[in-house]
Amino acid sequence: MTVILLALAAACCLGTGFVLQQIAAQHAPPQDYLSFRLLLDLVRMPRWVAGIVLMVTGMALGAVALGMGDITLVEPLMATNLLFAMALARRLSRQRLGRSGWAGLWLLAGGVTAFIVAGQPHGGRNSEVGQLAQWLIMGGVLSAALLLAAIAKRERVHVSLEAALLGVAAGLLYGLQDALTRISGLRFGAGGWRALLTSWHPYAIVVLGVLALVMVQSAFESAPLRMSLPALTAAQPLAGIACGVGFLGDQLRVTPGALAFQSAGIAAVVAGIVLIGSHPAMPPGAGATDSSRELQPR
């Protein structure tokens, strides 16, 4: 229960922080798109700083939850950050939830519940890292994220597709970051600060966090929140679960019935994320009213 409460608190901070960041990021200069200069411009905006503080707090709570529980349990719960983002966006826009909003809410909440109840995620006996599977999965996730970001930057695609691609890319990096956070927690628990600081994992976490942050803010700058946040929210738990099962030793029930309910749960989560993300209450962003990004040189 402590892990569940920590993960939900993390989701609340993340969802609220994402909304505040997007409201600020839509005022950033278009030429800073997918550039580290974007962060330098945004840090001057108090609302963006508040959103970052909430996001860091959410990540810290998520790290504690990952240290106490399994990534296959924590990740689906943290995907509910979209519910909290929706609650704040709805309050700011004063729009009713409507059928699509309620349907998305119940699909997301029900999907997470079905996945956890059916899968009964738990840590296995073999939670060692450094095996070939670890490098293959990490390399695949990282390569996919960088490829999506490259397509969003270099190909002349619509701004809404750019935002979705960057959202997926950032979600993949955040999922990988969560897996490395779990490993760092294990190393800290086994050998303290010395064991943690002499490994490469915490430094990789910082690098992944900065890369994902640039992608997220560029997505928030270029298009409505509904174009990027659902993609990010869907990609992060999928990447985290893949890492958890692939090389962290997490286990799920594999009976036919359990697998069917787990698949249905994941499908419901994705459908709920899409419905909530497309709700008109979500902040419109610069991309809804300004098509000049289409003409910006890459």
Amino acid 227: pLDDT: 74
Show the tokens assigned to 271. 């459908």
Give which of 76, 69, 58, 64 is closest to 12, Cα–Cα: 58
Whole-model pTM: value is 0.76
Amino acid 54: pLDDT: 93
Amino acid 184: pLDDT: 87
Amino acid 123: pLDDT: 65
Coil/strand/helix, residue 69? coil
Amino acid 282: pLDDT: 62
Using CB atoms within 10 Å of the CB of residue 104, give its burial: 0 to 12 exposed, 13 to 18 middle, 19+ buried. buried
**Tens-of-pLDDT digits for all 298 residues of the chain?**
788 899 999 999 998 998 888 888 877 777 777 777 888 888 888 989 999 999 999 999 988 888 887 777 888 888 888 778 877 877 776 666 677 777 877 887 788 778 777 877 766 544 555 577 788 889 999 999 999 888 887 755 566 678 888 888 999 999 999 888 888 888 888 888 888 888 898 999 999 999 999 898 888 877 777 777 778 887 888 888 888 888 877 777 778 888 888 888 888 877 877 777 666 666 554 444 444 444 344 4
Distance of CA 78 to the CA centre of its chain: 8
Amino acid 296: pLDDT: 43
Given a contact cutoff of 8 angstroms between Cβ atoms, the answer to whether 40 and 220 are in contact is: no
| Alpha-carbon span 61 to 250, nearest angstrom | 20
Show the tokens assigned to 61. 């709570």
How many distinct helices (H) and strands (E) make up the chain?
11, 2
**Per-residue CA distances from 108 to 112, 113, 164, 274 (Å):** 6, 9, 19, 10
Give which of 18, 285, 241 is closest to 119, Cα–Cα: 241
Partners of 96 in beta bridges: none
Given a contact cutoff of 8 angstroms between Cβ atoms, the answer to whether 14 and 58 are in contact is: yes
**Per-residue CA distances from 188 to 75, 127, 128, 196, 205 (Å):** 21, 15, 14, 5, 14
Show the tokens assigned to 132. 């070939």
